[in-house]
């Protein structure tokens, strides 16, 4: 919940770094997710939330590490197939 709130309240910039970024992932669960889907200003889905903030003029930067062992044939160290 803290990360979701921090992104919602960002006014200038948001930096996200990670091995694999799944933009369809929900940032909330249970009752919080249900209430936010019904009445929330921002989507609880990370991709939609970041796009909304960018549309508001907030700088959104994503840094995804490149796992050279991940490709069409190998899953990579994290099993993400993210190449």
* 41-58 confidence digits (pLDDT tens): 999 999 999 999 999 999
Tell me how far apart the alpha carbons of residues 14 and 62 are, in angstroms, rounded to a whole number. 8
35-44, 51-60, 61-70, 71-80: segment of lowest average pLDDT: 71-80
Tell me how far apart the alpha carbons of residues 77 and 83 are, in angstroms, rounded to a whole number. 12
How many other CB atoms are found less than 10 A from the CB of residue 42?
Answer: 17
Tokens standing for residue 11: 């006014």
Residue 2: C-alpha distances to residues 16, 18, 28, 55, 61 (Å): 14, 18, 10, 22, 19
Q: pTM for the full model?
A: 0.76
């Amino acid at each position: 919940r803290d990360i979701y709130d921090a992104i919602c309240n960002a006014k200038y910039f948001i930096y996200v770094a990670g091995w694999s970024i799944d933009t369809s992932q929900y940032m909330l669960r249970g009752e919080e997710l249900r209430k936010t889907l019904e009445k929330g200003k921002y989507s609880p889905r990370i991709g939609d939330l970041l796009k909304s903030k960018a549309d508001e003029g907030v700088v959104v930067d994503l840094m995804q590490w490149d796992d050279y062992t991940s490709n069409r044939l190998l899953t990579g160290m994290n099993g993400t197939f993210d190449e």
